[in-house]
Amino acid sequence: MKRRDRSINVFNMSMLDVISGALGAFLIIMIVLMPYYRKEHIDYRAEIESLRAALAETESLAEALADATARAEAAERRAEAAEARASRAEASAAEARSRAAAAEARAAEAARKADNALKVDLVFALDVTSSMADELDELRGSVRMITAALKSSAGSLRIGFIAYRDEGDAFVTRRFALTDMSEGGIDRLQTFVDGLAAAGGGDAPEAVDQAVIEAIGLSWRGDARGILLVIGDAAAHPGDVERTFEAARRFRASGEDRRVSTLYVGSSTSSHADFFRRLAEAGGGDYQAVGGS
């Protein structure tokens, strides 16, 4: 709020200035003229009394004006303080609006992630060479239990399957595409797993690299959590190890919530266990080991 200009000039004098000036002039006149009045022996008592009354009235007016001016200045200070408080309140409101907008954005992002968490795409990449016969039998008997458990925590569940062996076997990979786990989808998955047989292999390394590459090439949903679970007891061939890890890294980077986890079947101290551990690390997933057959 702009303060009033209190500089004095002939065109801008407050009433108090005028009255004070008039009072001063009256006193000067009295001081100068009174000796002459006394010398002349003229009775100016009535006039003096009248002047004294006027002086008293002037002083009263001056006091009233000073009081009014003080009240006006106090009101002006209160108005300035109120204006400052209003400015601070406006700044606080702007900050509150900014915080509310940020909180709303965080809530929307959390809701989006929660919605995505209810969508799961899961692909099993399973070694089905001869040494994995017991594990394949266990999986056959637990397909429905696994899908039921996963569906209880996922609003939308799709499962795919890559069965793999090695070069020179009856097949290197066999695919079951990502399929919605409705009742019909579960039946088709069960039929696929029932049709697998553990055979082939012979040497320890297997075609893990081809299984991983084929798995990440399936039709994964962009708004679903993607999990590739590699299960086996043998590493990839030495010349294929690094490209297997690179495929896992690509899959991890291809979506916000995608990872490669591994389940190693065998002794956790073997070099094959180290391969599965490093594969999970490359894919940003989890590593687990269980005793083999």
Give residue-wise pLDDT tens across range 172-192.
999 999 999 998 999 999 999
Q: 23 with 161, same domain?
A: no
pLDDT at site 11: 42
Q: Do 44 and 176 sit in the same domain of this protein?
A: no
Q: How far is CA 216 from CA 4, 18, 44, 249, 278, in A?
A: 78, 96, 121, 11, 18
Q: Using 50 as the pLDDT threshold, list the residues of the chain that sit under it.
A: 1-4, 6-13, 15-16, 18-20, 22, 26-27, 29-39, 41-42
The secondary structure of residue 9, as a DSSP letter, is B
Contact at 8 Å (CB) between 250 and 288? no
Verify that 51 and 149 share a domain, yes or no: no
Short-list 200, 118, 211, 121, CA closest to 160? 121
Q: What is the pLDDT of residue 162?
A: 98
Give backbone dihedrals phi and psi of 170, rounded to 5 degrees, phi first: -60, -35
Same domain, yes or no: 75 and 142: no
Report if residue 52 sits inside a domain.
yes
Domain presence at residue 5: no
Beta bridge partners of 125: 162, 230
Under DSSP, is residue 177 helix (H, G, I), strand (E, B) or coil? strand
Beta bridge partners of 173: 164
Residue pair 193/140 in contact by the 8 Å Cβ criterion: yes
- Note whether 131 and 260 are same-domain residues: yes
Residue 1 included in any domain = no
Q: Same domain, yes or no, for 32 and 105?
A: yes
pLDDT score for 274: 96
**78 in any annotated domain:** yes
pLDDT value of residue 71: 86
Find the length of the chain. Answer: 293
Query: Are residues 176 and 156 both part of a single domain?
Result: yes
What is the pLDDT at residue 13? 47
For residues 48 and 138, membership in a common domain is answered with: no
Q: Which of 84, 113, 142 is the last residue of a domain?
A: 113
Considering the domain architecture, whether residues 105 and 82 belong to the same structural domain is answered as yes
**What is the span of the domain harbouring residue 155?**
118-290
Q: Which two tokens stand for residue 64?
A: 């009233």
Q: Could you say which of 71, 86, 113 is where a domain stops?
A: 113
> What pLDDT is attached to residue 7?
45
What pLDDT was estimated at residue 36? 44
Q: Is residue 48 part of a domain?
A: yes
pLDDT at 289: 93
**Closest alpha carbon to 277 in 291, 262, 292, 267:** 262
Q: Which two tokens stand for residue 20?
A: 């004070």
Same structural domain for residues 60 and 146? no
For 176-214, b/e burial (b = at least 16 CB within 10 A) is bebbebeeebbeebeebbeebebebbeeebbbbbbbbbb
Asked if the structure places residue 270 within a domain, the reply is: yes
Residues 96 and 30 in one domain: yes
The residue among 66, 87, 113 that closes a domain is 113
In a domain, 271, yes or no: yes
Does 59 share its domain with 157? no
**pLDDT given for residue 192 in this prediction:** 98
As for how many domains the chain has, the answer is 2
Asked if the structure places residue 252 within a domain, the reply is yes
Q: Are 221 and 279 in contact (CB under 8 A)?
A: no
> What CATH number should be reported for the domain holding residue 250?
3.40.50.410
- Which tokens belong to 1? 């709020």
